[in-house]
Each structure stands twice: as C-alpha cells, then as structure tokens.
Amino acid sequence: MLNTVFGSLSVGVTPSTNSYESIATVTVGSATPYVDFTSIVSTYKHLQLRMMGFTTNNFGAQFNSDTSAVYSYHRLIGDGSNASASGASSTGRTLATFGAGNTTTSYPTVAIVDILDYTSTNKTKTLRTLAGHDNNGSGEVMLYSNLWTVTPAAIYSIRILIENGSNIGAGSHFALYGIKG
C-alpha cells in the first residue's frame, strides 16, 4: 500500500515491572447462567474485568453473593442513531448491570469494567464500564457507572450473570486483573 509508511522511530520497549496482574480467567465452554470469581485476594487497590462475550441481554455483576436489591446504575448509550441517558436506583436492582448485551449473538460484545477501591471497608463500591458491540448495521456503545449500596465491605467474590437470567454464551471470555496502588 502506497500510503502505508512505518513510523520512523519505532523501537522495542523493554518490559518493566508493573502494577497490573492477571488474577484469573474463565472461558465458557458451553452456555452457563453465571461465571464466578472467588477468593479474590485483597492485595490490590483496584480490579479490572475485561470480557468478550455472547448474550442476548445485559451483563451484570453481584458481589459477595449479595442477591438483594442493592445495586444501581446510570448509563449513556449510543445506538448509532441516538444518544440517550438513563438510570435506576437500587430499588429492584439485584445486580450491577454494566451493559454489553447484544441481540445478535454471533457478534461478540466487549466490556472493560473497573471496580474501584474494592477492599475499602468505609466506602461503598463503585464501578465504571466502557462496553459495546457493533454488528455492521446495528449495535451500541455505552458507558455505565454502578453503585453497590450496602454497608461498605471488601469484595471477595464476583458473579457475572445476565440481567434477564439467560445464559452466557459459549466462547465468552472473562479475565480479572488486579491493579496495585
């Protein structure tokens, strides 16, 4: 290609000791209602979940096996035609919805979820998510914030599940990382 010109100062970068560590990874072999990360150590400052998945509805998370209606969200969504914003208080929300649902299950949806200060025992837990999927003619991109509105407790387990109770599709991939502080 005539217009492909490599950068003039491309250099290798020596890997350095960093503060981002892989904790655990789950690849879904066959459709399943949830994926669990358990026994999460408390040695990090923040957690990041990186996922590529297949589903017909929004993904979400529950912490420490808490299935009560104590989760809320606010979101900003672009669907290719319109930008919209909405939210839901903790009333009736039994999971921290972070979007990424895709009605076209042959196209992967992706999300990056940051779980901030997850070991704090004096702050309620907040999440932020960038998620989306493009299906070549449909799709969405979205930003979510979530709150787990309980008495502050360290997060030691995370369950990933689908908002409407459907299954997580085969081939979905979830990787949890710890960020030191």
Partner 1 sequence: MAAGSTYTPISTTTLGSAQSSVTFSSFSGYTDLVIVCANLKNAVQQTPFMQFNSDTGTNYSSTWILGNGSSASSSRLSNSSSGILIGDYNIGMSSTVPSTAIIQIQNYSNTTTYKSTLGRYNLTTTEVYAIAGLWRSTSAITSIALNAGGSSNWSSGATFTLYGILAA
Task: Output the smallest distance, CB 156 to partner 1, in A.
Answer: 14
Nearer to partner 1, 130 or 150 (CB): 130
Task: Output the smallest distance, CB 26 to partner 1, in A.
Answer: 9
Task: Output the smallest distance, CB 42 to partner 1, in A.
Answer: 12
Rounded CA gap, 55 and 75, in Å?
A: 19
Residue choice 82, 121, 122, 151 for contact with partner 1 (CB under 8 A): 82
**Candidates 56-64, 66-74, 107-115, 150-158; binding stretch for partner 1 (CB under 8 A):** 107-115
Q: What Å distances lie between residue 6 and 3, 13, 14, 34, CA to CA?
A: 10, 17, 20, 44
Q: b or e along 35-53 (b: 16 or more beta carbons within 10 Å of the residue's beta carbon)?
A: bebeebeeebebbbbebbb
Is residue 71 a contact partner of residue 64, using CB atoms and an 8 Å limit?
no
Nearer to partner 1, 30 or 106 (CB): 106
Rounded CA gap, 115 and 118, in Å?
A: 6
Residue choice 29, 60, 178, 181 for contact with partner 1 (CB under 8 A): 178
The verdict on 153 binding partner 1 (CB under 8 A) reads no
Q: What Å distances lie between residue 98 and 12, 163, 168, CA to CA?
A: 36, 9, 14
Pairing verdict, β 125-134 and 173-179: unpaired
Residues 116-135 binding partner 1 (CB under 8 A) are: 130-135
Site string for partner 1, 35-64 (x = CB under 8 A): ------x--------xxx------------
Residues making contact with partner 1 (CB under 8 A): 1, 3-25, 41, 50-52, 76-83, 85, 106-112, 130-137, 139-143, 171, 173, 175, 177-178
